Amino acid sequence: MYLSYDRPIAAQPLAFHTSTVNSSLERPVGFGVIGVGLMGEFHAANLARRVDGAQLVGLADPQPGLAEAAAGRFGARLWTRDYQDLLSNPDVEAVVIAAPAHHHASTVVAAAQAGKAIFCEKPLANTLADADRAIEAVTHAGVPFQIGFQRRFDAGFRGARALVDTGKLGEIQLLRSLTRDPLLDEPERVTAGAIFLETLIHDFDVLRFLAGGAEPVEVYAHADALILPDWRSRGLLDTAAVMLRYTNGALATADASFQAVYGYDVRAEVFGTLGMANVGDVVGPSLVHHSRAGMTRSRPHWFIDVFREAYVAELVHFAAFVRGNAEADNTVGDARAALVLALAAARSVQTRRPVQVSDVTG
């Protein structure tokens, strides 16, 4: 396993995300970060140090002292316990919403009504009704929006998508995606349904991203508490396997575990009539230790180690999008479609039957 490390270089927009306009000549987009926990703090650090075209203006978190401490660390001039203070500040043009998921929809609505551009961490909401409320507000206000599916900004996943788009894999017939977190050490912090709404939602997005335009129409899922069986009665499912069927007959599987003893593991595969691409299986630094026991090589322990550059790239893209220098990516439609698949999977576990996507969308 290897530890997180900072690389103090300015990230540039990926060539395939942005136009050739030199965003460094433009005024940086002023950002406010709402929710300064694990992800909010990481996004704030990136906005302050690594995101070309962005400036960290302020932070909000209801926990006393949290926003202030982060503002001090990252050189932001505003901190508050009430995010409305950021929304009423004209220097804040855009917000990163990294509060817990059940706050996302109402925060998106408030930010849209305040005319702010919105980058929202996944999931957009925990229910379709809340997601649609948020989408309606974004659409009505006409503000830029992007959801935090950072795998789409990872060079490997984008490379696989390019192979699909250029026909090099032929007709796509099979896909797979998996996520395995390293350690389930704080089960009390895991919300019911998290394996679908928080974790596999990334995989559902990948399974749309790499499908060549086909959309899943049916979802069949099993999930259980295999790591912490005592938590089953509290609704904490820690292990899941899902099968999906697409409009064109293609098939996919996704699986997730909250405890992979060997570290963080994200992989995807897309298989077609002309070939196959796989992504993931990331290894750490090139050091290999040879001994009587064989060879050992470190691997990433946590998601930030794997997607460090993708998290920067998604915000570089979003800042360029806000300035009109990049196309919309990770749209409200993508946020909603992945949520629908997560909700379908959760319903399938409850009913022990395949669920039609159309039955979830109503």
Ligand X SMILES: NC(=O)c1ccc[n+]([C@@H]2O[C@H](COP(=O)([O-])OP(=O)(O)OC[C@H]3O[C@@H](n4cnc5c(N)ncnc54)[C@H](O)[C@@H]3O)[C@@H](O)[C@H]2O)c1
Q: Which of 52, 198, 238, 255 touches ligand X (CB under 6 A)?
A: 198
Q: Is 204 in the site for ligand X (CB under 6 A)?
A: no
Q: Looking at beta carbons only, is 40 or 263 nearer to ligand X?
A: 40
Q: Which of residues 37-56 bind ligand X (CB under 6 A)?
A: 37-40
Q: Which of 13, 32, 144, 148 touches ligand X (CB under 6 A)?
A: 148
Which string of x and - marks every residue 76-105 that binds ligand X (by CB under 6 A)?
-------x--------------xxxx-x--
For residues 37, 302, 4 and 312, what is the CA-based torsion angle, rounded to 10 degrees? -70
**Least Cβ distance, residue 245 to ligand X (angstroms):** 27
Q: Which of residues 12-31 bind ligand X (CB under 6 A)?
A: none
Instruction: Give the interface size with ligand X as a residue count (CB under 6 A).
Output: 24
Nearest partner of 330 among 98, 132, 197, 149, judged by Cα = 149
| Edge-to-edge order in the sheet of strand 29-34 | 78-80, 54-60, 29-34, 94-97, 117-120, 145-147
CB 329 within 8 A of CB 311: no
Collapsing DSSP to helix, strand or coil, 268 comes out as: strand
Which string of x and - marks every residue 217-256 that binds ligand X (by CB under 6 A)?
----------------------------------------
Asked if the bond preceding 123 is cis, omega within 30° of 0, the reply is yes
Tally of CB atoms within 10 A around 5: 8
Q: Which of 33, 45, 57, 66 touches ligand X (CB under 6 A)?
A: 66
Tally the C-alpha atoms within 13 A of residue 19's C-alpha that lie toward its C-beta: 12
- In the chain, the largest separation of any two C-alpha atoms, in whole Å, equals 65
**Least Cβ distance, residue 304 to ligand X (angstroms):** 8
**Least Cβ distance, residue 358 to ligand X (angstroms):** 26
User: 3-state SS of the chain: helix, strand, coil percent to 5?
Assistant: 40, 25, 35
Output the residue with the shortest Cβ distance to ligand X.
37
Residues that bind ligand X in the complex, under the rule CB under 6 A? 34-40, 60-63, 66, 83, 98-101, 103, 121-122, 148, 150, 198, 303
